[in-house]
Amino acid sequence: MDRPYGLLAELTYACPLQCPYCSNPLDLSRYGDELTTAEWQQVLDQASELGVLQLHLSGGEPLQRRDLTQITRHASALGLYTNLITSALGLSAGRAEELRAAGLDHVQISIQADEALLSDRIAGTPSFQRKLTAARLVKKLDWPLTLNVVLHRGNVDRIARILDLAEELGADRIELAHTQYYGWALRNRDGLLPGRDQLERAETVVRAARTRLQGRMEIIYVLPDYYSRHPKPCMGGWGRRQLTVVPNGDVLPCPTAHEVPLPRASVREHPLAWIWDQSPVFQAFRGTGWMPEPCRSCDRRELDFGGCRCQAFQLTGDAARTDPVCQLSPDHELVAAAVRAASDPAPGPSRGAGPALIPRPHPHPRPQPRPEPHS
Partner 1 sequence: MTEPARTERPRLAPHTRLSFDRARQRHVLLTPEAVIVLNDTGAAVLGLCDGQRTLAEIVAALEPGYREVPADEVRQFLGHLAAAGRVDLADG
The binding site for partner 1 (CB under 8 A) comprises 3, 5-6, 48-51, 53-54, 79, 81, 83, 105-106, 108, 142, 144, 146, 172-173, 218, 220
CA dihedral 362, 366, 369, 370 (to 10 degrees): -130
Cβ-based nearer residue to partner 1, 53 or 320: 53
Closest distance to partner 1 from the beta carbon of 349 (Å):
39
Amino acid at site 208: A
Cβ-based nearer residue to partner 1, 15 or 52: 52
- 285 vs 262: CA distance, rounded Å: 11
Alpha helices in 51-127 (DSSP H): 68-77, 93-101, 116-123
Cβ-based nearer residue to partner 1, 3 or 95: 3
Closest distance to partner 1 from the beta carbon of 159 (Å):
20
Helix (H, G, I), strand (E, B) or coil at 346: coil
Alpha helices in the chain (DSSP H): 37-50, 68-77, 93-101, 116-123, 128-140, 159-169, 183-187, 189-192, 196-213, 272-278, 280-283, 301-304, 309-316, 332-343
Q: Count the Cβ atoms, other than its own, within 10 Å of residue 198.
A: 20
Cβ-based nearer residue to partner 1, 12 or 82: 82
CB 59 within 8 A of CB 15: yes
Cβ-based nearer residue to partner 1, 145 or 151: 145
Closest distance to partner 1 from the beta carbon of 142 (Å):
8
Closest distance to partner 1 from the beta carbon of 1 (Å):
12
Closest distance to partner 1 from the beta carbon of 173 (Å):
7
Closest distance to partner 1 from the beta carbon of 140 (Å):
14
Cβ-based nearer residue to partner 1, 142 or 299: 142
